[in-house]
Amino acid sequence: MVIMSYTYTSSVPEYVGKKVKLRGWIYRKRTSGGILFLVIRDRTGIVQAAAKKDSIDKRSWDAAEKATIESSIELSGTVKKDERAPTGFEVSVDSFKLTGLSEPFPITEYQSTELLLDKRHLWLRSMKMISIMKARSYIFRYLREFHDKKGFYEITPPLITSVAGETGADMFKVDYFGQEAFLTESSQPYAEAMVYALEKVYSFAPSFRAEKSRTTKHLAEYWHLEMEAAHYNLKKLMDFEERMVGSVAQKLADKNQDILAQLGVDPALLKKIKPPFKRLTYEQAIDLLNQKGKSLKWGDDLGVEEEKLLTEEEDKPVFVMYWPKELKPFYSPINPKDPRTTLSVDLQAPHGHGEIIGASERVWKYDELMDRFHEVEAAKGVKFNIKNYEWYIDLRRYGSVPHAGFGLGTERLIKWLLNLDHIRDAIPFPRMVNRIAP
Ligand code: 4AD
Ligand code: MG
């Protein structure tokens, strides 16, 4: 006896006139004159199956009749073309098995956003979420491919840390065997340590932010791609960033047209995203915004409105370079050509999707690092717990080298590339100020 293997619904068109075996979930169901029309969903898509009462065995018929929306099933049958079916093909069922009967599915056609978030574990089966999660997986893959091709090693930083950022204020505290610890807000210090061993490294890891921002761009837990490289300067970082973002957009447009079509994203817009990206200094950005009606002064940060105004007419991201030292952390070095500023650069996504990458050269000399600590302490009125930074400072004691790196918020990138309304849809189980379940 030939044991048939299972076919995905997307391959069904290749089997016209032949038999297939499918497994999946009931997506739609209706009945018409002794025929059950069952639309079957699997990870590749959907296909219609038709079960006729008088041409299948009683057990199969009873199971098909009993099957509810989202029940898991297996069936076999013969493929034929049928213009009336949703995909133009139909499987005439000859045997049907119910694997897991579903209770009445709590998500029906029109549901509130809140319910869809409460039932996220079930809503992930929707066509929209399936497409986004596939795109997310490909985007992660393309980002990895880019780094791998450039000879970077992937590293795995710790997520529980004693490094309290600047103040620990926006960090989640953890009771670590009686000692105060934090969930990491950035893997950068660890990536910097590994630069002295592997020279070119990157990590994909969650970062945690306890800031109570209720915006469409903030998550309390997000996946952070962080890159760190020895002997890189700001120019080399920017070249790297624009090539990386460009390559992801190009690959998505070339290889994932089916997913983009499901999400209503025009690949032609993605094809436009390639180097070079516009490069503004912070000062030029402020001037530009003031020409557009703002009244910003030196030292002001860019908020949601400014980001939108700066990028609303852009098809490609925009670099903003040389931020005032008051706006950047201690690890951003002073710009020797303008000591009011730092060797730092942010990448702003078009149409107000916000900052997707934060980057800088790093203070790599011991004395300069200590100066920057004290400067930031004085400027912000904070007190660093230098003891927790001892190991980080050590890196500048034993054969330090110039290096630079960046952090990219993967959900921000996904939100922009797929033109999503809210960052929560770029991650399967969003963590936000008012949400930790499911
Ligand atoms: O600008 P940030 O805070 O920079 C750092 O953490 C650096 N230490 C990174 C580095 O140089 N290795 O964060 C980097 C990026 C931002 O540009 C943004 O895309 C994303 O992380 N990000 C967030 N994404 C989602 N939700 C939040 N609450 C985010 N905060 C930052
Ligand atoms: Mg930033």
Query: Within 10 Å of residue 148's Cβ, how many Cβ atoms?
Result: 12
- Alpha-carbon distances, residue 115 vs 126, 218, 430, 434, 437 (angstroms): 14, 20, 14, 14, 12
Distance 357 CA to ligand 1 centre (A): 7
Q: Which residues of the chain are under the pLDDT cut of 70?
A: 1-2, 166-167
187 Cα nearest atom in ligand 1? 12
The Cα 249–Cα 245 span in angstroms is: 6
Count of alpha carbons within 13 Å of 82, Cβ hemisphere only? Answer: 17
Q: Which residues contact 363 (CB under 8 A, 6 or more apart)?
A: 330, 331, 332, 333, 369, 372, 396
Ligand nearest to the CA of 215: 1
Q: Which residues contact 244 (CB under 8 A, 6 or more apart)?
A: 143, 146, 147
E-assigned strand segments in 33-172? 35-42, 45-52, 72-81, 89-100, 153-154, 160-161
Whether the model pTM is above 0.85: yes
Question: Which has the closest alpha carbon to 284: 255, 319, 314, 254?
Answer: 319
Question: Which domains, ranges and CATH numbers included, belong to the chain?
Answer: 9-100 (2.40.50.140), 118-426 (3.30.930.10)
Model confidence over 211-240: pLDDT tens digits? 888 899 999 999 999 999 999 999 999 999
**Best residue among 155, 412, 416 to mutate for probing ligand 1, ranked by most atoms within 8 Å of CB:** 412
The Cα 150–Cα 138 span in angstroms is: 18
Ligand nearest to the CA of 329: 1
346 Cα nearest atom in ligand 1? 17
pLDDT at 309: 97
The Cα 421–Cα 417 span in angstroms is: 11
Its sign, for the CA torsion 201, 204, 205, 211, is positive
The Cα 384–Cα 353 span in angstroms is: 33
For residue 336, count CB atoms less than 10 angstroms from its CB and return exposed for 0-12, middle for 13-18, buried for 19 or more: exposed
For ligand 1, residues with CB inside 6 Å are: 186, 188, 209, 218-219, 222, 224, 226, 355-359, 405-409, 411-412
Question: Which has the closest alpha carbon to 153: 196, 209, 91?
Answer: 196
pLDDT at 375: 87
The Cα 248–Cα 230 span in angstroms is: 24
**Best residue among 216, 355, 415 to mutate for probing ligand 1, ranked by most atoms within 8 Å of CB:** 355
Its sign, for the CA torsion 121, 60, 16, 21, is positive
C-beta of residue 94 within 8 angstroms of C-beta of residue 55:
yes
Classify strands 45-52 and 89-100 as parallel, antiparallel or unpaired: parallel
Run of H or E including 198: helix 188-198
Distance 197 CA to ligand 1 centre (A): 24
pLDDT at 382: 78
406 Cα nearest atom in ligand 1? 11
The Cα 178–Cα 303 span in angstroms is: 39
The Cα 382–Cα 366 span in angstroms is: 20
Length of the chain: 438
Identity of residue 207? S
Residue nearest to atom 14 of ligand 1 (CA): 407
Model confidence over 86-104: pLDDT tens digits? 999 999 999 999 999 999 9
Which residue has tokens 């209706």? Answer: 30
DSSP state of 4: P
Ligand nearest to the CA of 357: 1
C-beta of residue 88 within 8 angstroms of C-beta of residue 81:
yes
Q: Which residues contact 395 (CB under 8 A, 6 or more apart)?
A: 192, 193, 196
188 Cα nearest atom in ligand 1? 12
DSSP state of 124: T
Query: Within 10 Å of residue 179's Cβ, how many Cβ atoms?
Result: 8
Ligand nearest to the CA of 406: 1
What phi and psi values does residue 103 have, to the nearest 5 degrees?
Answer: -65, 165
Distance 346 CA to ligand 2 centre (A): 7
What phi and psi values does residue 70 have, to the nearest 5 degrees?
Answer: 75, 5
Residue 200 β-bridge partners: 229
pLDDT at 166: 66
The Cα 58–Cα 52 span in angstroms is: 11
Distance 5 CA to ligand 2 centre (A): 50
**Best residue among 152, 167, 224 to mutate for probing ligand 1, ranked by most atoms within 8 Å of CB:** 224
pLDDT at 167: 66
